Structure 1
Amino acid sequence: MAAPIYLDYQATTPVDPAVAAAMQPFLLDRFGNPHSQHRPGWEAEAAVDNARAQIARLLNMLPEALVFTSGATEATNLALKGVLTAPGQARRRIVTVATEHSCVLDTAEYLRELGAELTVLGVDADGLIDLDAAAAAIGDDVAIVSVMAVNNEIGVIQPVAEVAALAKRAGAVMHCDAAQAFAKIPVDVDALGVDLLSLSGHKAYGPKGIGALYVRPGTRLAPQMHGGGQEGGGLRSGTLAPMLCVGFGKAAEVAAARLDADAAHVRELWDRALAALDVPYSLNGSATARWHGNLNLCFPSVDGARLLADLRGLAVSAGAACASAKGKPSHVLAALGLPDALAKASLRIGWGRFTTADEIDRAMAMINDAVRAQGVRAA
């Protein structure tokens, strides 16, 4: 059986061949522990330091401000829990957004159960927050504000810099989940004004199992993992995997050279995909304030479960991989005001660096056929 056309880039991206090549020596030959005090250890440490510098250059930050983690979920847990449990922290309120990734919302809810206060901002029908509502919510009792850059389900880009300015005015820490933005759109920690930034390797053509948290110097965090204190001056314990760090760093280096070309490519495929659709649909999320490698479509009057079953030649999803695996409806689409029936009739289609125009043409033809098979007439 032929492999399906892969259009689920928000769940994970293919590893770039240059990344795989950079990682390979560290699987067998250069296996030293980067925390060991001998030549193999020093060589591994140098490779990790180089990876840290590669990522830092893409984000316009100091390399020593980057704390490697197992992924964006751990980075986000460290950010939110670390701020709320930092020594001397008197503020108890968290402000976030209804369309955030579950690693933000679930961590915030956990902290609420422990005594923190939680304010969740709504979004409009396009998935964007209201800055006036954000300004009203961010007061001098707020410890941390968390707003993601690019939404993982609908591709919407939030006004992070504007929210960060509000957080700064209130004396709150600003966190941004940039897992879907890193290596896709320009991300500059100073231009955004963020204090904490969560990153993921496998959303950016790098390996799974590696991520990072940018920590602006002076930001107070309490460690959430205790042990050897290998990262961030004791902020995160655990032996680093040089192979994964090297892959993450190489992915950043490749992205730095391809940022404009990748953006132009996905925009071309976006235009091609929409032009090829000839069945009724509506777009979930803003048509303009977005990353164009994400297309979340609602097909009214269609049985979503049957649609997915009929699209076995495509690797697409009904939403975030973590939620889809549990059979949960999309909280993001619910926040946009979609009733369950329309949310269940929605597809998330994602493409990127290695997607071809021919794959988009074939995929849209399959979607047209699958929708028409349910008695829906052409648009």
Structure 2
Amino acid sequence: MAYAEDINKTIEELGGAFNEFKKTNDDRLTTLEKGDALDGLVEGKLKAINDKLSELEKLKGQFEELETKANRPGSTFGGKQQNAEYEKAFDQFVRKGKTDQIDELKTKAMQTGNDEDGGYAVPEQLDRQIIDFGRDQVVMRSVCSSQTLSTPDLKKLRKDGRATSGWVGETSPRPNTDTSQLKPITTHWGEIYANPEATQTMLDDAFFNVQQFLLNDIGEEFSEQEEAAFTNGDGNLKPVGLFAYPRTTQSDDVREFGKLQYLDTATAKLEADDLLKLLYALKRKYRTGARWMMNSTSVGQVRLMKDNDGNYLWSPGLQAGEPSRLLGYSLTENEQVDDIAAKKAPISFGNFKRAYLILDRIGTRVLRDPYTNKPFVSFYTTKRVGNMLLDSNAVKVLQIKGG
């Protein structure tokens, strides 16, 4: 195992840091219980250890991801070998602006070609690498369901209402029962763009990897925009983020589809009981595969919490492949989520794969522009992404009570 030693070393450091964290926090709590004033150095030390725990968690995850990739067999993306002829033609388009080879291939219908604005589709392998890059970089992609499409015409139906049933005797009349209706789920699409630039000198260099350049620059830009959109997007020229859907306190049996249930904290301060209440508000059938989501500041706060028996609610993953857990469930950090503050919704718990679907349209397009910002060559790149809310019962949200 290429990274086994690094993983084990990080786990050892993580365990040691957590023991130090518990001792320091226990001493802090003892001081508070005695009514003594806290030494500012203690608070500073606790924050430093908390930050170290976050860094070690992230490092462990990175090593585990590298280990997984190192052991992953090669893939040809569903068994389709990359069209080398189109890849060569695309390379000439990016480097020199030559379009004759791509146009010829398009005429022969060997590869998807230009769009209405004159841009050209990137090679299929690069297109899929851009999508895969997003799965590695965008938290929402890593925990939600995703699907890649060649057209925007995905149709999914949901049940509205439920069929009724009952018990009858052998010769009793069979009364009519209510039946559920099937209704389509709304899809929200948006077009995301990036505009990476390179000098012509770079493009003329035979050792300059054109596709890697596009992948890195486009992937980074797309990832930042996607994280914000899939979390809180308002649906205006972009997907509707999971936490942008309307929220209500109504329970699952009366709440209409498309609204998330939220629970208020008991007071203006987050307590351990609030987390337990949120966990059990999620029906049992969703709790298999469920996880917490909050930002790193909130993670630092919940690490301090204990149950009524004095046990910490949060525990680090001290085995390879084992995530850190909060009340027995894994935890995902998303910096787009609210901080802990009055009337904000900083914490959610649910089965995100059952709740939210991310859609990718195959056909990332590139328009080459050597004129607007000389001596740089710009590559205006667009890609269509969308979303569906699959099940609004699958995620619950905790809201901090207003002061």
TM interval, short-chain normalised: under 0.3
Per chain length, whose mean CA-contact separation is higher, i.e. which structure has more relative contact order (CA < 8 Å, sep 6+)? 1
Point out the structure with max Rg over C-alpha. 2
Q: Which has the higher strand share?
A: 2
